[in-house]
């Protein structure tokens, strides 16, 4: 078959690669993105391709496609107050329940939505609203168990976290050291750093024990390049004041 007469046979990914090459605007980069076979065909049908690429070029201005990587790392959660029920036994002076049965989510995404985090903006521990078993925060087993948590600090590298496209459900298996969400941020977009943790209660509604968020931006391209959000994050605490069930602080950083 004569490829000169078959310009429409170019695969869409091939044209996309070509368009990207043109957007970069460098001849060398242009050559690199083409396979040898495609390069031969380009030589034969350059005119047809230039037209296709030009239409793509006008449809997608290069500036709008520029994204800047922002990494949101959740360091730890610190519970400074905890109350999981008062003691009703008058003969026992200190039998209040100070252990939370914890499950929850941390996450980050831009105003563009989940796509800004590769479709997986959330990291979940335990299983939302369920209590199949109990274990401790750093346990090597019981990924879906609630975590027994008291007043204290709990490091997000030590707990099993799965990735989620939705804040209440896992889309992947659970891993440790899975406490960073990578974002692709466009100039002019805002992004949100968010946490939602609950205490499981068998005989009453589950309680919010750490629910809070912070918005960042919008930033200009120059600000994203200069990473001004790194210092901004140091002035934006993720904390929930005592609500009758708990008070929490979530340490995080941006890079
Ligand atoms: Ca409770
Ligand atoms: Ca409890
Ligand atoms: Ca409880």
Q: Which ligand is nearest to the CA of 97?
A: 2
Tally: H helices and E strands in the chain: 6, 13
pLDDT tens figures, 79-95: 999 999 987 777 777 78
- The reply to whether 202 and 168 lie within a common domain is yes
**1 located within any domain:** no
- The reply to whether 133 and 176 lie within a common domain is yes
**95 located within any domain:** yes
- The reply to whether 72 and 34 lie within a common domain is no
CA of 202 to the centre of ligand 3 (A): 7
Q: If 0-12 CB within 10 Å is exposed, 13-18 middle and 19+ buried, where does residue 85 land?
A: middle
Copy the structure tokens of residue 131.
């209590």
Number of separate domains in the chain: 2
- The reply to whether 21 and 108 lie within a common domain is no
pLDDT tens figures, 148-205: 999 999 999 999 999 999 999 999 999 999 999 999 999 999 999 999 999 999 999 9
CA of 83 to the centre of ligand 2 (A): 8
- The reply to whether 249 and 137 lie within a common domain is yes
CA of 85 to the centre of ligand 3 (A): 8
- Please list all protein residues whose beta carbon sits less than 5 angstroms from ligand 1, which is an ion: 84, 199, 201, 207
**5 located within any domain:** no
- The reply to whether 110 and 206 lie within a common domain is yes
- The reply to whether 41 and 83 lie within a common domain is no
CA of 107 to the centre of ligand 3 (A): 23
Copy the structure tokens of residue 248.
């929490």
The DSSP bridge pattern shows strands 134-136 and 146-149 to be parallel
Q: What mean pLDDT do residues 38-43 have?
A: 44
β partners of residue 70: 183
- The reply to whether 154 and 192 lie within a common domain is yes
**24 located within any domain:** yes
- Report the C-alpha gap between 219 and 213 in whole angstroms: 18
Q: Which ligand is nearest to the CA of 98?
A: 2
CA of 252 to the centre of ligand 2 (A): 26
pLDDT at 63: 57
Q: Which ligand is nearest to the CA of 102?
A: 3
Q: Which residue has the higher pLDDT, 61 or 116?
A: 116
- In terms of residue numbers, what domain contains 197? 68-254
β partners of residue 174: 162
**6 located within any domain:** no
């Amino acid at each position: 078959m004569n490829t000169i007469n078959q310009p429409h046979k170019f695969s869409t990914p091939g044209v996309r690669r070509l368009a990207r090459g043109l957007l970069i605007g460098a001849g060398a980069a242009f050559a690199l993105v083409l396979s040898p076979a495609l390069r031969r065909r380009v030589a034969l049908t350059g005119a047809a391709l230039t037209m296709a690429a030009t239409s793509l070029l006008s449809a997608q201005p290069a500036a709008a496609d520029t994204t800047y990587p922002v990494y949101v790392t959740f360091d730890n959660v610190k519970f400074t107050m905890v109350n999981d029920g008062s003691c009703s036994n008058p003969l026992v002076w200190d039998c209040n329940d100070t252990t939370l049965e914890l499950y929850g989510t941390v996450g980050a995404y831009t105003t563009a939505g989940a796509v800004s985090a590769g479709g997986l903006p959330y990291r979940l521990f335990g299983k939302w609203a369920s209590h199949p078993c109990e274990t401790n925060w750093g346990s090597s087993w019981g990924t879906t168990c609630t975590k027994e948590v008291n007043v204290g600090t709990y490091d997000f590298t030590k707990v099993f976290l799965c990735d989620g496209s939705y804040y209440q459900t896992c889309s992947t298996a659970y891993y440790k050291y899975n406490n960073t969400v990578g974002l692709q941020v466009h100039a002019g977009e805002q992004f949100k750093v968010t946490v939602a943790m609950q205490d499981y209660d068998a005989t009453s509604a589950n309680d919010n024990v750490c629910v809070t968020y912070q918005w960042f931006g919008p930033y200009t391209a120059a600000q994203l390049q200069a990473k001004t959000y790194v210092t901004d994050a140091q002035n934006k605490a993720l904390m929930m004041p005592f609500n009758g069930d708990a008070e929490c602080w979530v340490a995080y950083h941006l890079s």
